[in-house]
Structure 1
Amino acid sequence: MPTRKYDDTPKFGALYARTVKATLRRADYEPDADGLTLELPRSAIDQDHLTAYRDVTGFAAGPALPATYPHVLAFPLHLDLMSDPSFPYKPMGIVHLSNTITQLQPIPMHAEPAIRVHSTAERPHPKGTVFDIVSEVTVDGEVVWTDLTTLLSRSAGNENASVDLLPDPEVDPSAWWDLRGNLGRRYAAASGDRNPIHLFKLTAQAFGFPRQIAHGMWAKAASLASLQRGTKLPDAFTVRVDFRKPVLLPSRVQFGSRTTGKTTDFALYDERRELTHLVGQLQAV
């Protein structure tokens, strides 16, 4: 498996241009046989950028990074991987199914973490092919955080393929969030994820949505920020979310959670609780 190392974080302008080119490549394209690992030995954290991320997701200020923030640091490498000629799928149109983060210890906000990213082998899904992008963050040579981003490339699929899903939790609403139409643009500015389905009504309609939708990783971050406001999150935990139905913007949603021992189940619903947008489970380590 070849490895590509960087001296600095790849720039989004070039990455998005390459992403569009990769999406438009011919149907009979055959990728390189070997997978690719990307490594960034040092990632400097911009404190103004971190503040903007806290503001849009709801995390309070503190000495450690929000648990979801390293995903933002790794995201340019995700784009670089998915737009590389070795990548077997067209990046635009890939569906984010779930995300699992394991924080082994809090990451200091002034750390300079190293990041390593690679993809896993594909596996069948009823609606196409599923694969994972794995991100690993180290500080001073010690692994402190990992992320498993599960993605679906749509195709004919295998109707007999098994699907790993979190159970629907039984939780009562504890908060209602009024989400403005510009939320996607605000999170895009803080995260770098400028997928057009999140930005404007017209750009979302071009991909089949009635209007723009919230980022799934914003919903996960906002859920964890809400949990943190209720009770302090443990230093070490694994938290997984499954993304069910898109959150249209603007809209009003309700959030609920329940803690039993070391496990916290949570969910995000629409205002009338007719749609489940996200289900999650946090397990203290």
Structure 2
Amino acid sequence: MQKRFRVDLARLAAYERVCGFATGAVAMPVTYPHVLAFPMTVRVMASRAFPLPVLGLVHTSTEMTQRRGLPADGEYEISVCVEGLAAHRRGTEATVVTEARLAGTLVWESRNTYLARHATAGAPGPRDDVAERTPLPAVAEWRFAGDVGRRYGAVSRDRNPIHLYPLTARLFGFARPIAHGMWTVARCLAELPADGESLTVRAEFKAPVRLPGTVTYAAEGNRFELRGAMQRLHLTGEVQPAPM
């Protein structure tokens, strides 16, 4: 699926405020093309060709590569496709590939994995390394308000009920709303110094962040993470130079 987009600058500024980025920059954040592509991603997943149930899909990881600065006033051609399915020890995982082109040149791409949980018979898949991971140095303690999911949903158009209200979250098995994974990534990236226009961001979502809630933001070098009470790991990530 392909579509052309021109960035709505007012909506971009609202997104930047919700995520903690500075507003008014010439270039948009590395996470914003994901927001532009989100309606297309939903349509791809909701099509009859997509073999997994959309309700209940868990976003498990993201990898975004920015090959140059992304001008906020540019017109982008964005494409979304499902690269394939893979067996996972907790179900089946789908990989969704998104590409953004500016004047025909690939400037941004991402790979996102989504897990459909179901019973398996010893299917392979990466095991969590949470117990083995040494926490990064704490930088700040963040208190997330209960309306973060609604505010981010308004600017990203991701209004999944699990992020909005206690009542709607309970319908899907959550006692309270949980933060959008991509919002937590963006919030962390907003704290890191800008390190060139060509970069790759990788992040894994380990456990949901309940709203309202308090987390510890930790970072060292090119790595970052969010931890909750009892050192529970919610998110891990890193920023690297983009491959040539």
**RCO comparison, higher one (Cα < 8 Å, 6+):** 2
Question: For residues 239 and 65 of structure 2, what CA distance do their matches in structure 1 show?
Answer: 10
* Aligned equivalent of 2:6, options 44, 57, 61: 44
TM-aligned CA distance change 1:155 to 1:50, over 3 Å: same
Structure 1 residues 146 and 269, CA, compared in 2 at 3 Å: closer, same or farther? same
Q: What does 1:25-174 correspond to in 2, within 5 Å?
A: 38-40=1-3, 42-61=4-23, 62-163=25-126, 168=133, 170-174=135-139
Which position in structure 2 is the counterpart of 1:18? none
Deviation at 1:74, TM superposition (A): 0.5
CA contact (8 A) 2:90 2:123 kept: no
Cα distance in 1 for residues equivalent to 2:97 and 2:134: 26
Distance in 2, matches of 1:169 and 1:65, equals 33
* 1:168-199 deviation per Cα after TM superposition (whole angstroms, max 9, x unaligned): 46411111111100000000001000000000
Instruction: Say whether 1:279 aligns with 2:236.
Output: yes
Q: Which residue of 1 aligns with 2:187?
A: 222
| Match in the other structure for 1:237 | 199
- Structure 1: 5+ residue stretches without partners: 1-37
Distance 1:158 1:123, change over 3 A: farther
- Rounded to whole Å, the distance in 1 between the matches of 2:219 and 2:72 is 27
Whole-Å separation in 2 of the counterparts to 1:149 and 1:46:
24
SS at 2:220's partner residue?
strand
Q: Are residues 39 and 164 of structure 1, via their aligned partners in 2, closer, same or farther at CA, if it must alter by over 3 Å?
A: farther
C-alpha distance in 2 between matches for 1:81 and 1:165 = 29
- 2:225 pairs, out of 267, 271, 275, with 267
C-alpha separation in 2, matches of 1:233 and 1:76: 29
Counterpart code for 1:120: E
Identity fraction in percent:
39
Residue 167 of structure 2: aligned partner:
202
In structure 2, relative to structure 1, the CA distance for the partners of 1:137 and 1:75 (3 Å cut) is: same
Give structure 2 stretches of 5+ with no counterpart: none
C-alpha contact 1:43 1:73 (8 A) present in aligned 2 = yes
Larger Rg: 1
Contact (CA 8 Å) 2:225, 2:235: kept in 1 or not? Answer: yes
Q: CA deviation at 1:234?
A: 2.2
TM-score (norm 1): 0.81
| Distance in structure 1 (CA, Å) of the matches to 2:54 and 2:114 | 10
User: 3-state DSSP class of the match of 1:130?
Assistant: strand
Which protein has the bigger strand share? 2
Q: CA RMSD in A?
A: 1.5
